[in-house]
Amino acid sequence: MVIWIVFAVITAAIIASLLHPLASGRVRVNGGEADAARVYRDQLLELDRELQANEIGRNEYEYARAETARRLFKASEPKREERQRLPHPRHPRRWLRLAVVAFLPLASIGLYVLVGSPDMPSRPLQARLEEPGQDIAILVAKTERHLASQPDDGRGWDVIAPIYLRTSRVVDARSAYRNALRLLGPNVHRLGGLAEALMAEAHGSVTEEARQVLEQSLTLEPDNPRARFYIALSMEQAGRPNEARQAFEALAKQSPADAPWLPLVNEHIAMNGGAKAGADPAAPGADPSAPGNPTQQDVARAETMSAGDRQQMIRGMVESLDAKLSEDPNNFEGWMRLVRSYAVLNDKDRAAGALKRGLAAFPPPGEQGRQLLALARELGIATEEATQ
């Protein structure tokens, strides 16, 4: 009932604002005509005074008087013609007022019935929180309300932390993981999640704090490939290619031959001047002529370069791969390498652009598109815009 009262008040205010200009049925005469007449009368009185004082002659007086009268009539004539052209004010304005009063409320009600939902019952926030269904936003809001009243519920923080991370709320994810670790103690999943949140907050860089969290994770699970990969990546980002290559090679040796992360590890081995683990010249992925693969000459030349020159050479190879994929986008392994390479170079914008172009060639419903999306999530690259 309250909503209809509000609608009635708003409608009345709008109608009043529209009727106000039509409220008067009289024609207002411009005051300029009266002002002009007053000026010319003053001029005639001044002429009479000058004649009596013998300041002007009779002929000059008659001429000036006639000219003043002519100007007075000329100034008055357009006003009279304008008033004659005006329509009768009463009846048209009356119909216009009736049209505004009748049409506006009827049109508003009809439009609301057509596009609104007058029969839908209201559902307050509390009711939605009690029955959230599959609405992830309501589930998060419900959990946040619960944690606000019970901040020592470690299980709640443990549940909501990965949701924050998946929805790119990295600051909230970092705080949630820390609360879960404080209340429930460390485990591999919580430490790995905190490290990912810290890296996402740093736009893909493995910060010193993230590296310490990963090393703590290795004390619980020494063979954790994710933690070992990111620790090796931190060495690469710090400009220590030899240490990074050795760490990546050690990870490749401990990994099964069909491990899904092995191609990524091999790419980093090659980018840091090494040979891919288990590379077979006959294997498709080891073809030196494949776009983006370093040749033996590139590897040999990289070993003699400084860190800066080596980084410049790597960037040139990545840009060359990008250009080749623009000409021939039907190269799934090439898109995988390009996305990884831009992520390693800490160029998130180009990595996201490469992901979007790769998904245009290999859409997400397919297996290859899903692999591209999985790689992007692994590297901390936003996938929302790429899938739109």
From 210, 145, 147, select the one nearest 179 (Cα to Cα). Answer: 147
C-alpha span between 13 and 25 (Å, rounded): 21
pLDDT-based confidence at residue 104 (cuts at 50, 70, 90): low
Give the mean pLDDT of 212-221.
Answer: 93
C-alpha span between 163 and 245 (Å, rounded): 34
pLDDT at 211 over 90: yes
pLDDT-based confidence at residue 18 (cuts at 50, 70, 90): low
Mean pLDDT of the chain: 75
- Most distant pair of Cα atoms in the chain: their distance: 127
C-alpha span between 148 and 226 (Å, rounded): 33
Give the mean pLDDT of 253-258.
Answer: 82
pLDDT-based confidence at residue 286 (cuts at 50, 70, 90): very low
From 192, 243, 245, select the one nearest 221 (Cα to Cα). Answer: 192
Alpha carbon 284 to its chain centroid, in Å, reads 40
From 248, 293, 245, select the one nearest 273 (Cα to Cα). Answer: 245
pLDDT-based confidence at residue 310 (cuts at 50, 70, 90): low
Between residues 15 and 184, the one the model is more confident about: 184
Burial, 106: exposed, middle or buried (Cβ in 10 Å; 0-12, 13-18, 19+)?
Answer: exposed
- What is the second-level CATH architecture of the domain 280-388? Alpha Horseshoe (1.25)
pLDDT at 255: 84
As given in the structure block, the two tokens for residue 258 are 């069909």
Burial, 74: exposed, middle or buried (Cβ in 10 Å; 0-12, 13-18, 19+)?
Answer: exposed
pLDDT at 290: 45
Q: Tell me the pTM.
A: 0.44
pLDDT-based confidence at residue 95 (cuts at 50, 70, 90): low
* Among 69-83, 159-173, 185-199, the least confident range: 69-83
C-alpha span between 233 and 199 (Å, rounded): 11
pLDDT at 291: 46
Helical residues (DSSP H) of the chain, grouped into ranges: 2-19, 32-52, 58-85, 90-115, 125-130, 136-149, 154-166, 170-184, 188-201, 208-220, 225-237, 241-254, 262-271, 296-303, 307-327, 332-344, 348-361, 367-378
The dihedral formed by the CA atoms of 340, 342, 344 and 346, expressed in degrees to the nearest 10 = -140
C-alpha span between 152 and 158 (Å, rounded): 11
C-alpha span between 295 and 63 (Å, rounded): 109
**Highest-confidence segment of 39-43, 188-192, 273-277:** 188-192
Residues 176-208 have pLDDT tens digits of 999 999 999 999 999 999 999 998 888 888 899
C-alpha span between 106 and 56 (Å, rounded): 73
**Residues 244, 247, 251: CA angle, nearest 5 degrees:** 135
Neighbours of 144 (CB within 10 A): 14
What CATH class is the domain 125-222?
mainly alpha
pLDDT-based confidence at residue 308 (cuts at 50, 70, 90): low
pLDDT at 314: 72
Burial, 10: exposed, middle or buried (Cβ in 10 Å; 0-12, 13-18, 19+)?
Answer: exposed
From 271, 269, 239, 238, select the one nearest 252 (Cα to Cα). Answer: 269
pLDDT at 219: 92
Give the mean pLDDT of 223-239.
Answer: 89
pLDDT-based confidence at residue 339 (cuts at 50, 70, 90): confident
**Same topology for domains 125-222 and 280-388, yes or no?**
yes
Domain extent listing, the chain: 40-71, 90-120, 125-222, 280-388
**What is the DSSP-derived secondary structure letter of residue 285?**
G
Between residues 220 and 3, the one the model is more confident about: 220
**284: helix, coil or strand?**
helix
